[in-house]
Structures are given as C-alpha cells and as structure tokens.
Amino acid sequence: MSLKIYNTLSREKEPFESLEPGMVRMYVCGPTVYDSAHVGHAMSSIVFDVIRRYLEYKGYRVNHVMNYTDVDDKVIRKANELGVDPLDLAEKYIEEYDRLLESLNILPPSVKPRVSQEIDGIIELVEGLMAKGYAYEVDGDVYFRVSEDEDYGKLSRRQLEDMQAGFRFEVDERKESPMDFALWKAAKQGEPFWESPWGKGRPGWHIECSAMVLHHLGEQIDIHGGGNDLIFPHHENEIAQTESLTGKPFVRYWVHNGMLQIRGEEMSKSLGNMVTVDQFLSEHEGDVLRFLVLNASYRAPLVFTDEVVEQARRGLERLKGAFRPVASSVETDPSSQHDLIEMIQKAREGFESAMDDDFNSSAALAVLFELVRRINVARDAGVDAHTLGKAQDTLRELTRVLGLQLADKSVALLDAEPYIHLLIQVREELRNAKQFALADTIRDRLLQLGITLEDGKTGTTWKLRR
C-alpha cells in the first residue's frame, strides 16, 4: 500500500513521493500571534500533527516547520491599543500557543521561526525579486508585479480578470495593478521597523513564509499546509514569489484543512462565537478535540457544537474501555484467542489502508472500533491476559499514531494498583456474604477517588474516571 495525498494544486489525490527518499520537508502556516488561539487553530495544528505522526509511522523522518507571524498589522494595532511593545505582545501569545500544543499532545515542530528573526532573509528575497524584474518600489513600499508571473492564480484557480471584476475595496493608485501585493511596507508612525535598501519598513504578509521555507527547508519542499482560507491570497502569493525567484516548482503537495464551524458559521471574533482552546481544555481533555477532528475528513468543514463534543467524549470513552484488564477469569475459550490474534493483524492492515488514502482518519477509527469490539468480546469470553495484552498493545500503538493519549495511567496510580485489587477482593467477599451495603460503600468511595468499579461476568474490573 502506498500513501496518497490530496493536492490542492491538482485537485486530485496523488501518490506521495518525497523529494528525498525517507525524508519529508513540511511547512505549515502557524498563527498570527495577537490573541489567544481558538479551537479552529487547534484543529489545524491537530490535522498536521496527525499527518506528521503518520508519515513518521511510515518510516519517514519529518522536518516540520511551523512559523509564528509576530510582525503584522493586527499585532501592531493591538499592541498600540494596549500601549505595549508589539514583539512583547507577540511573545506572550507565542508562549501561550506553545503551551497549547503541548496540552493537545501535538509534537513540537522541528523549527518554529518568527518573522522578526528572519528579516535579513526577507530583504534578500525582495532584492532578488527586484533584480529579476518581479518587484518594484514606490515610496518605500515594494510590490510584487503580478503581471510578470504568467501562471499566477494556478493554486486558487482564479484569473486576474475575474478578480479585478469583483473588486470592492479601495485600490492603492500607486500600484501598477490592483492585484500587485506588498512585499515590503514602509514604516508608519508608531510601527516597528527595520532598516532596508528602501528605507525603514517591515515585511508584507506573504513574503515571510517564502523566506522561512527557503531558509529552513530549501527551495523545494514536499508538503505545505494550512487552513483552506489561506489558499488565496496567501499561498497563491507564496508560489508567485518563490517560483519567480527560484524558477523551480516550490511545493509538491499543497494540503489544506477545512474550517471549523460553530452552528454553520466560521468561528471569528466579530461573530462573537469564539471558543478558545483554553476554554475548551478547562472543560474537556485534549483527546476530545482530537477525536472530534479525527472523526471527520480533515478537508471538509468541521461541525463544532456541544452535541458533537459530547459525542466525541463518549466515543473516546468506548475506545478507552478496551484497555480494561482481564478480570479474574474463570475458564478460557480458545477460539476467542484465535479470533483476537487474527483481528490484530487485520486491524493494522485496515488502519494503514485507511490512512494511506489521504489520511482518512474516520475510516481508520472505524477499524479501531472493530478492534475494540473484538477485544471486549474476547475479554468476556475469558481470553488469556497475554493475548488480550497484545491486542491492547496494537490498539495503543495505532491510537498513538493518531496522537490520542487515552487513559495513560499516572505513575502514582500504578503504585496504587495493588491496593485497589485488595479492595476489590475484600468487596468480593462482602458481596458473597450478601453484605451489599458495605460492598456498595467501597464502590462509592472509590468512585469519589476517581476509580470506577464494574462487575463483569468474570469478575470485577476497574478504570479511571475522568
């Protein structure tokens, strides 16, 4: 089986082949750090984390770069409102985002560059474009000359004429064409600036990503990702700049995630329907959001409502339930062992073929749920602990490829395990003696301590309650 990835450029699933065998260069557009991240940002980071984890599972080494946009109109505006330094403000939200990545079990990107630390490379890039006639200066601003780029619009499938027809914002008359975009902006009063050949100024929005890719990954990369709202103009412009400069195809696979929507609306500050990641995590574990994301196609819009969150939480519980250990089993059923061993292999194959199909995580989850069911059946049938453990190990390994943590027991709790078993034993004797009131007290008290007891056919099992 080989991996296929949907490429926004061709609008088709294509066999994945990296530029360099065994190695993937992946760049993902990160957030503009002017405010707290919302669950939509988290969705994007989760999607590309899953992609990375699966590529690593397939044996690739992944060089994963995610940028922080810390020099930007919005950052400056907000900093000025608050009367603080823009870079200090950005720093605060960068630290916050780093923490969120960790809480959501997102593997740290290999490099996390920031615009403010890439200025030299950006200036160099702009100079290169000017030297080749792709850019021009007006009063300290530098613009990209779109008319020079013959295949401009190939990613978003837009024609220059189409775009100009629907123009409904004010055009800067100094530009040669309305579609020309800023590579470098002359500094205005109260804005951070850097010295450049065109005077004091700062980078335009799109140029930063081109510069960071060139700096950290090279002229050509395998995967470039981000939300599908970035296709135009951001990624379109990145292609224009970078390919005009290098003359080489920039990105092999453009990968875009769909937008997360709250009740059919894009989540945005202006609509007042933001759910920040912090808010979400104060009520749910990170796995819930990840499960929600995994349960759908990463390319389609994601429905985010209280009901769907609750469904994700319960689905997760079912997944976790499969890790319960064998009870004090009475008699074993050999056929259950055979079925389970067979399922272990089938689950891995099914999982891989689902994920190979453009990271079809919801189909992969369906396979895992089949494994869960078979594990539960085998446990009820009294399968031996060794075989059950092997099936659980496979389930654990595959859920980890998806980045789910499930109920990873804390060390403290592992220490408590013998005592829990002791209590279960005592309670068992009380139940045999029909001392139900006392038996129930033990169950209730353990529940208060976060441990749920369940009396199954073959004995009592326990699990951690969230």
Partner RNA sequence: GGCGACGUGGCCAAGUGGUAAGGCAAGGGUCUGCAAAACCCUCAUUCCCGGGUUCAAAUCCCGGCGUCGCCUCCA
Output 136 or 369, the one with its CB closest to RNA: 369
Q: Among residues 106, 186, 221, 296, which is the contact residue for RNA, using CB under 7 A?
A: 296
Beta carbon nearer to RNA, 24 or 372: 372
> Out of 195, 229, 283, 408, which residue is the one contacting RNA (CB under 7 A)?
229
369 CB-near residues (< 8 Å, 6+ apart): 318, 319
Q: Which of 4, 99, 396, 431 binds RNA (CB under 7 A)?
A: 431
Question: By CB under 7 A, is residue 265 in contact with RNA?
Answer: yes
3-class DSSP state of 387: helix
Out of 98, 310, 408, 417, point to the residue binding RNA (CB under 7 A). 310
**Looking at 84-92, 340-348, 377-385, 398-406, which segment touches RNA (CB under 7 A)?**
377-385
Which residues on neighbouring strands pair with residue 7, listed in sequence order? 12
> Toward RNA, which CB reaches closer, 192 or 321?
321
Q: How far apart are CA 201 and CA 192, in angstroms?
A: 8
Convert 308-334 to b/e letters by CB count within 10 Å (16 or more is b): ebeebbebbeebbbbbbebbebeebbe
The residue (of 340 and 411) whose beta carbon lies closer to RNA is: 340
Per DSSP bridges, beta strands 302-303 and 260-262 are parallel
Nearest one of 65, 106, 27, 96 to 293, comparing CA atoms: 106
Nearer to RNA, 169 or 419 (CB): 169
For residue 324, CA distances in Å to 372, 453, 462 come to 11, 11, 7
Provide, rounded to whole angstroms, the least separation between the CB of residue 85 and RNA.
20
d(CA 277, CA 283) in angstroms, rounded, equals 10
The least CB distance from residue 15 to RNA, in Å, is 15
Cis peptide bond prior to 21, omega within 30° of 0: no
Structure tokens at 21: 């065998």
Site for RNA in 18-77 (CB under 7 A): 29-32, 38, 40-41, 43-44, 69, 72-74
Interface positions, 145-184, toward RNA (CB under 7 A): 156-159, 162-163, 165-169, 181
456 is a site residue for RNA (CB under 7 A)? yes
Q: Could you say whether residue 466 binds RNA (CB under 7 A)?
A: no
Q: For the segment 357-376, give every residue that binds RNA (CB under 7 A).
A: 357-358, 360, 362-363, 365-366, 369-370, 372-373, 376
Q: Does 303 bind RNA (CB under 7 A)?
A: yes
Amino acid identity of residue 246, one-letter, is: T
